[in-house]
């Protein structure tokens, strides 16, 4: 059964516009919070309420109202910091991807365990003015949280699979890959290609939060040619249909996880101690105002 502490703590959910609409309809006792952080305002107001087994959740739309933020402009630092301010220690994130792996089909869900970060225009650390802070990223997703989500995912019926692992290549965008790039990403060992998971996962680790990403597969990336003469409108309709299926499956999976007896907030998890040995700068030379500003990350 849920521990008292776990049931009282709040779980963060990060998703896109379509997922937000689907989740919002299932959230009870909802309240929209307009927050600010030292890194600016998050992408949108945060919806705090209850979902599943009376779990408290904080939902944040990664791209903002009306999908106004393109991948390179998503305020990831503000998003993660705002959730931590609310007391979130565990984040379940979700995002659309293309598949680089024949075995991972459109409509499937993937619990990402590894990332290859190709982004170059984004603030990827909270500690740019704080000092030298180096967190471990060998296991960028929380294995404890992923295992609990997978245990629930095994019991969800449907023709589309929930894959227990996959490597996500995060590109800068906003353009999609060339075929040469797509083939290169496959050779690197990538299973998925997307534009939004980084530096979100890195910042969650710096904030000492347990983080898991559920990837929603919309299509095969351009490494796999379409049949000759395929109409672009038909292709777009297929992609939208795949996303609708994956979105519905993802929302059902998240609700099932929140309805489960699993303890999602693991205070003893290694993710919750990621800053323990990460600060290399002499603490005596770190400005006091910086210490105060970043205090929430060390909680």
b vs e for 148-164, b when ≥16 Cβ sit within 10 Å of the residue's Cβ? Answer: bbbebbeeeeeebbbbe
Q: Is 130 annotated in some ligand binding site?
A: no
What is the residue-wise DSSP string for 84-110?
HHTT--EEEEEEEEEE-STTS-TT-EE
The β-bridge partners of 210 are 90
Q: Is 219 annotated in some ligand binding site?
A: yes
Q: Is 63 annotated in some ligand binding site?
A: yes
219, 231, 261, 289: which is the annotated catalytic residue? Answer: 219
Sole residue written with tokens 């402009």: 73
Q: Is 261 annotated in some ligand binding site?
A: no
Q: DSSP alpha helices (H): ranges in 120-279?
A: 143-153, 179-187, 200-206, 232-259
221, 231, 261, 282: which is the annotated catalytic residue? Answer: 221
Cβ atoms of 93 and 146 within 8 Å: the answer is: no
Q: Is 170 exposed, middle or buried (0-12, 13-18, 19+ CB in 10 A)?
A: buried
Q: Around Cβ 248, how many Cβ atoms within 10 Å?
A: 17
In the annotation, is 219 catalytic? Answer: yes
By residue count, the chain amounts to 299
Return d(Cα 188, Cα 167) in angstroms, integer.
10
Q: Is 129 annotated in some ligand binding site?
A: no
In the annotation, is 157 catalytic? Answer: no
Return d(Cα 152, Cα 187) in angstroms, integer.
32
Return d(Cα 272, Cα 105) in angstroms, integer.
34
Tally of CA atoms within 13 A in the half-sphere of 252 that contains its CB? 15
Sole residue written with tokens 């290169």: 184
Q: Is 76 annotated in some ligand binding site?
A: no
Cβ atoms of 246 and 94 within 8 Å: the answer is: no
Q: Is 211 annotated in some ligand binding site?
A: no
Residues marked as binding for phosphate?
A: 17, 62-63, 196
Q: Indicate which residues carry an active-site annotation.
A: 219, 221
Residues marked as binding?
A: 17, 62-63, 195-196, 219-221
Residues marked as binding for substrate?
A: 195, 219-221
């Amino acid at each position: 059964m849920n521990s008292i502490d776990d049931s009282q703590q709040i779980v963060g959910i990060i998703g896109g516009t379509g997922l937000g609409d689907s989740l919002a309809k299932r959230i009870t006792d909802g309240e929209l919070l307009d927050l600010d952080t030292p890194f600016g305002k998050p992408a949108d107001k945060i919806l705090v309420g209850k979902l599943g087994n009376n779990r408290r959740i904080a939902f944040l739309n990664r791209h903002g109202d009306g999908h106004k933020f393109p991948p390179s402009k998503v305020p990831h630092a503000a998003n993660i910091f705002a959730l931590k301010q609310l007391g979130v220690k565990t984040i379940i994130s979700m995002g659309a991807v293309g598949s680089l792996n024949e075995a991972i089909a459109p409509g499937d869900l993937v619990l990402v365990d590894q990332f290859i970060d190709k982004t170059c225009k984004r603030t990827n650390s909270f500690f740019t003015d704080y000092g030298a802070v180096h967190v471990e990223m060998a296991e960028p997703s929380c294995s404890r949280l992923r295992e609990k989500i997978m245990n629930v995912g095994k019991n969800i019926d449907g023709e589309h699979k929930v894959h227990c692992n996959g490597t996500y290549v995060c590109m800068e965008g906003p353009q999609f890959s060339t075929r040469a790039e797509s083939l290169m990403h496959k050779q690197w060992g990538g299973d998925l290609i997307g534009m939004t998971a980084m530096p979100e996962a890195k910042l969650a680790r710096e904030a000492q939060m347990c983080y898991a990403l559920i990837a929603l597969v919309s299509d095969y990336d351009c490494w796999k040619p379409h049949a000759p003469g395929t109409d672009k409108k038909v292709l777009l309709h297929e992609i939208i249909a795949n996303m609708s299926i994956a979105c519905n499956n993802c929302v059902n999976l998240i609700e099932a996880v929140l309805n489960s007896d699993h303890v999602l907030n693991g205070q003893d998890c290694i993710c919750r101690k990621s800053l323990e040995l990460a600060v290399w700068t002499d603490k005596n030379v770190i400005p006091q105002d910086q210490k105060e500003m970043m205090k929430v990350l060390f909680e």
